[in-house]
Structure 1
């Protein structure tokens, strides 16, 4: 880089720090804590999209989640879906094995679960399979539709569904799915340990009928904990389980039973799909879809020029400057997701499939973790970085689940003085006068913090957190990593990098409110590697038979949310709106849950994308 350019870069970087520190030094502005709208309102101005009078803030309540149809559908047509990512997609294109959101966005086009849910996240009988439940609530009998077939024409069978459970429960399984949802199936633990050759609680009744008996009846069985993704046994049945996730049948020529089928893949860059004429909901209206990776820095240009017709997750920090883009309609919904800061407290024990806590972990002192939460001002971060379209997160059950999100729990509020006192009382003092605290034992304390690249805000935001922690006397070293490398080091494959102490990441949560899959001791996704007896008790109670009583379940999850505020193995930073700009030629598209709008209905009113004026 030329000297003049380098100087300019340093100037802009330092300017961003100044702006960030200025933004986060006060408490002015409109609060959006714990809900999805600004408190002071300031309604929508006519002819100005979603721009609000209230200081440039936006509210997710000012967006629709179903596309307005303009014009009549033409026959056929193709669209391009922009997968916004600053790294290549990994390419594990099977629901039973994938772990990253980019792969999930591709999977949504060509494969799906056998069960469908409504706007309250309850399984319905409108999906590719229907179900009946026994009187004791433990045995579910599923019937797969006769017209549900794999893309190669073979029927999706009860054996395929059974086979998915057998693969996930197999000792050689290398994916992230095996957790309490599976151990609740009768006979699963004996099968997993090698004591049995089959899973006694799963029975194939006939080609299209499957029965699963669970050890304990739980409300989660109706709201997301049933594994509904079959695995094509006629393709993978003779393959060693350890080889499936890396096989060409997953990476190069994946199969599903969804509305489109994969025609070709450019690894990490794009996927070309054509319509599945035999789709069980009905032949898709479009001829095909191209999924292509676009960077956050080019997403606006791609939308304006018609390079992409729609994306599912527009960078919300770019919305204010592009709210009036003439050729798209912005759809919006409260995201089933949150960003968070996590603390590494142990490692993953692959042999026993559970976390192994480290009593000597650098971040093991709860006072240190509590102080680091108090030091950051996420209310102002949401307003100044995201114009209110991300907002201060307080607990680990997001407002996408309003029945269980405890809006009265304020988490740990921004209070640097409280943070300093916590550290003082715990014995973290600056004993050598360098401005940074040492450990209570008088040893140097350097905290290694990793975060993900992506978009203009990613690094300034991570550096804000570093600066906030420095103001309370903590020395924090930041490393920015691309998506796949980041999750490898956090422990996605079960190998935790001992050099990582703190990390910033995000979770998309499932339709089931039960957080066991992220924070249970047997959950691979418990990247903090935290184990706590009270946590395990509350998680178990939250999915117990007693939890069919809504008030009881709410009480349990309120207790759990408070436990996580007290113990802070991780802390939430921001709740999120998801924005999806859709080209005006696109018809019959929606985002969010329970809309009743499906991808086979997607159509276009013109042959080519409409360009911005």
Structure 2
């Protein structure tokens, strides 16, 4: 077995030309006695009543800075359309949480606690018609380890966490973890998305690592073929992006879990930079759904004629999605935020609880832990969010040297410098939220200034570590990730997710121990220790968390009953591709509705609340 793994590694690293895995694979034999698994027993969650066809019209607030899935500027909001919701080898069932087939029909675990073997569905195809093969999985390491992609996090992860990807034939491969892992975690690391090797073929053989030396520029606005049902079909730069369905013959429909899903023929994303203007487009019937994320949208701005006459319906459904890190990230590399007393003062000067009750109408909940919640025993439930306490905040600010109060009520230090920090955020709709925090912070003598930066530019600004305080949240997997956020390898470096620039030797040691720990209970215990240390460091102030999907849609947009699964974050493709594609457009009802609007006919107003997975 050891010789086989070493051979696979040589294939990856030492080949020449554009195809580093071109060495004959016939010598690599599958080990005997593998116990192949599959799972076709879980319940379906789409509707057999779904109708195929039509164009789903939605919007995005800014045009993406790149269509690459890695490299500079690729980690923006548009990423989900290109990467996050595309098929992998296997996937979790969104209700039972059990592994089910995706691109792979079967899988097997090696006896070394490091290797998972996969059999690819022979029907699997890229959207350009090319077959998905083991070569496309082998190429993942070629791509992600290349310096040409300018993505240090991926370089490091795919070097230190994935030892090898081995081809055993056209449709069989294995992923080898760099360390021993318990079974469930091993699958999380081994469950990769393939990358289309034929698409990334360099222009000449001088690119000896198998990746184009000019990768960043060459692929900046070239979207790769998709393994999923939708691919980028039409781009009008700065104006719109259209995704087109491969068609009813899409290979995924040979998988029972994909039946009756991804029903619309096209998804058109129009760039509308102002959310209120987008809402007006929606209420005129130019968009098919609208994300009602703010309380004023749900409670106040859904009483227009189109709602009252039943043309537009409202939907609120609860989920049980793990909540990622976030709230307010404090950049310790900026002046005075490297002082723990100042950071603790900020923690008690920010009134998130008041924000939730007075601005957000109590619709959201306070996140107890800035690192994330909802991940079982990985979560340290002993951590509670800091309370708003201006007097306590002032005590910390005095310890930090800001012991005087200026004529405007803002604290100053012995040098006459004011206690002021800018809050960076990405959406105009967040302005009332940040403005509330600003007014409350004055009670502690802290001045907050509003730094609104449009869409993906805001995330780039934060990735480049230009912020002081950043008002944003990150998504999460089923187990917490710490290395990218808190390890010193990522501190004070652009294009990494260590938004706080915080690090310590003790925390580094815990993070590395967490990454390599095989025993599940010990790993969970280390996770709780890490969360406590991050909380003690006062670098991520827990904000508000949403545990539901809340949307408006025209009555011709249909969905199953019940609509929600435990992992449903978006019911429709309302600006994010993270939905399960269970909705469809009913052309007859669309005609009926259009006719009724012309004739003045009305329908019963409808608001649906799905409590199936409400905690």
TM-score, structure 2 normalization? 0.73
Matched, 1:340 2:309: no
Does the 8 A contact of 1:269 with 1:293 survive in 2?
A: yes
Matched, 1:565 2:532: no
> Which residue is equivalent to 1:207?
170
> Which residue is equivalent to 1:496?
465
2 CA distance for matches of 1:480 and 1:100? 19
> Which residue is equivalent to 1:461?
433
Shift of 1:73: 4.3
Q: 1:184 aligned to 160, 163, 167, which one? A: 160
Structure 2: 5+ residue runs without aligned partners? 1-43, 204-210, 254-258, 491-495, 572-578, 603-615
Q: How has the CA–CA distance of structure 1 residues 263 and 297 changed in structure 2, closer, same or farther, with 3 Å as cutoff?
A: same
Q: How has the CA–CA distance of structure 1 residues 68 and 121 changed in structure 2, closer, same or farther, with 3 Å as cutoff?
A: closer
Matched residues, number: 509
Matched, 1:244 2:199: no
> Which residue is equivalent to 1:289?
267
Greater Cα shift, 129-138 or 402-411: 402-411
Does the 8 A contact of 1:394 with 1:409 survive in 2?
A: yes
Shift of 1:405: 3.5
> Which residue is equivalent to 1:41?
none
Alignment of 1:249-398 (within 5 A): 251-277=221-247, 278-282=249-253, 285-294=263-272, 295-311=274-290, 314-322=293-301, 325=307, 326=310, 327-332=312-317, 333=319, 336-337=323-324, 339-346=326-333, 361-398=335-372
> Which residue is equivalent to 1:6?
none
Shift of 1:258: 0.8
Does the 8 A contact of 1:376 with 1:465 survive in 2?
A: yes
Does the 8 A contact of 1:174 with 1:242 survive in 2?
A: no
Matched, 1:451 2:424: yes
Q: How has the CA–CA distance of structure 1 residues 80 and 419 changed in structure 2, closer, same or farther, with 3 Å as cutoff?
A: same
Q: How has the CA–CA distance of structure 1 residues 181 and 547 changed in structure 2, closer, same or farther, with 3 Å as cutoff?
A: farther
> Which residue is equivalent to 2:550?
579
> Which residue is equivalent to 1:507?
474
Instruction: Please give the secondary structure, in 1, of the residue aligned with 2:300.
Output: helix
Shift of 1:470: 2.9
Instruction: Please give the secondary structure, in 2, of the residue aligned with 1:231.
Output: coil
Does the 8 A contact of 1:96 with 1:168 survive in 2?
A: no
> Which residue is equivalent to 1:115?
90
Instruction: Please give the secondary structure, in 1, of the residue aligned with 2:154.
Output: coil
Shift of 1:400: 4.0
Greater Cα shift, 586-595 or 528-537: 586-595
Indicate the RMSD between aligned Cα atoms, in angstroms.
3.5
Q: How has the CA–CA distance of structure 1 residues 451 and 221 changed in structure 2, closer, same or farther, with 3 Å as cutoff?
A: same
2 CA distance for matches of 1:544 and 1:212? 17
1 CA distance for matches of 2:313 and 2:86? 27
Matched, 1:142 2:118: yes
Instruction: Please give the secondary structure, in 2, of the residue aligned with 1:565.
Output: helix
Q: How has the CA–CA distance of structure 1 residues 267 and 591 changed in structure 2, closer, same or farther, with 3 Å as cutoff?
A: farther
Partner deviation per Cα, 1:90-147 (whole Å, 9 max, x = no partner): 3425378774453134326984333311348967242112432222311122222111
1 CA distance for matches of 2:364 and 2:403? 35
> Which residue is equivalent to 2:206?
none
Greater RCO between the two (CA within 8 Å, min separation 6)? Answer: 1
Q: How has the CA–CA distance of structure 1 residues 393 and 330 changed in structure 2, closer, same or farther, with 3 Å as cutoff?
A: same
Shift of 1:472: 1.7
Shift of 1:322: 4.7
Does the 8 A contact of 1:81 with 1:311 survive in 2?
A: no
TM-score, structure 1 normalization? 0.73
Instruction: Please give the secondary structure, in 1, of the residue aligned with 2:78.
Output: helix
Shift of 1:260: 1.9
